[in-house]
Amino acid sequence: MQQLDQKSRSTPLEALTRDARALANGDTVLSAPEAEVARQLQICNACRYCEGFCAVFPAMTRRLEFGKADIHYLANLCHNCGACLHACQYAPPHEFAVNVPQAMAQVRVQTYVDYAWPPALGALYQRNGLTLSLALAAGLAIFLLLALALNGTLWGGDLRGNFYNVFPHNLLVGLFAPVFLFAVLALGLGVRRFWREVTPATTGAPVSGPAAAEATSDVLRLKYLDGGHGEGCHNADDEYTLARRRAHHLTFYGFMLCFAATSVATVYHYAFGWTAPYDLPSLPKLLGVAGGLSLLMGTAGLFKLNLQRHPLQGDASQKPMDRGFIALLFFASLTGLALWLARGSVALPSLLAVHLGVVMALFATLPYGKFAHGIFRSAALLRHAVEKRQPDRLGLGAD
């Protein structure tokens, strides 16, 4: 407590100035959001009240100072569950103004910008609302115009319920494959740069089997959305809730089921010559319907929770990015399910054009929107699982 008492004699401005000056990482000076995270973590490191809440605080106790790589690593470990904010005696309106979820959220966006590939496109994170709007408009325009050009109509026609009578299979592959592969490449190169920077800051030890298994389990279970005690995290007030965790699970596994449906359909088409459309009870349709319904419920839940979010929790400037990504996922699932139900109707060409336009916008913005948080957070959780298995050089932490 002596360390905390010494800090309490400094004003927040003095502490920020001191830490920003002291925490230069080589020739790289911390940005204002990074310096703010460093300032708050110095206070947290003296208090330790939240040590058992999530992965951030045990990892924090292994450090006395916080350089850029440490801050990027810890910011991506944070799941913005809000437990520390609602428990903190130094949270606003206290003069220390400790708000770890908000400070971490601001740095996470900077992380995505800094590690974006190609670097010039990192600015799309900061203009995400405009990026999503343009991508959606372009995607819709492409497929609406193609439908008119190829079929002469967006309503009716003798299509016999077959999507490929509207857009040929090879045309769709030629349009979507390059966009999807670019998204995978951009995300992969971005997270590789992040991994290289944080590895020395997290002991640099290689990944072991047990560490990989633990990190995979933490990702798949969304362990740190339980508040660190299993009762859930905070959203609108001081009450614990598991609603965010459940909505995230529905969204994540719904997305994965839809991806699995597309993957199985690809195998059917190329390996066995079984061409679409597929109907129940075929495996692609079972996976697709289950995934679509799960994604629909999950994104609706996330949007409702986002509207109810406590104003001190997270970064308000990120809400357009969050809501834009949620909306794309919601309408991708909604139009996909509507397309299946209306497959034999005259609305098929129009619904198909709209669905493909939304999916194209989703693919095009994957590397430069909210989707990136899952990739970077998974990498941070893996480094945490590796680091916690190494000796604590300071000997100050609980683990």
What percent of the chain is predicted at pLDDT more than 70?
Answer: 89
* Per-residue model confidence as pLDDT tens digits over 319-336: 888 888 999 999 999 999
Query: Concatenated DSSP letters for 198-259?
Result: HHHHTTTPPPPHHHHHHHHHHHHHTGGGSTTTSS-B-SSSSS-BSHHHHHHHHHHHHHHHHH
- As a CATH number, domain 124-385 is 1.20.950
Q: CA–CA distance from 380 to each of 104, 113, 186, 212 (Å)?
A: 13, 17, 18, 12
pLDDT at 161: 65
Section 280-288 average pLDDT: 93
Model confidence at 278, pLDDT cuts 50, 70, 90, reads confident
Q: Where are the domains of the chain?
A: 2-117, 124-385
For 45, residues 6+ apart whose C-beta sits below 8 A from its C-beta are 60, 61, 63, 64
Section 225-235 average pLDDT: 81
Strand partners, 233: 241
Section 175-190 average pLDDT: 94
Give me 44's structure tokens.
């947290």
The answer to whether 390 and 205 have CB atoms below 8 angstroms apart is yes
Give me 127's structure tokens.
């203009």
Q: Which of 19-23, 36-40, 177-181, 346-350 has the lowest mean pLDDT?
A: 19-23
* Per-residue model confidence as pLDDT tens digits over 101-142: 999 999 999 999 999 999 988 888 877 777 777 788 888 888
Identify the DSSP state of 123.
G
Section 296-301 average pLDDT: 97
pLDDT at 126: 75
Statement: residue 343 has pLDDT above 60: yes
What percent of the chain is predicted at pLDDT more than 90?
Answer: 55
The answer to whether 352 and 341 have CB atoms below 8 angstroms apart is no
pLDDT at 118: 92
pTM: 0.86
Section 51-57 average pLDDT: 87
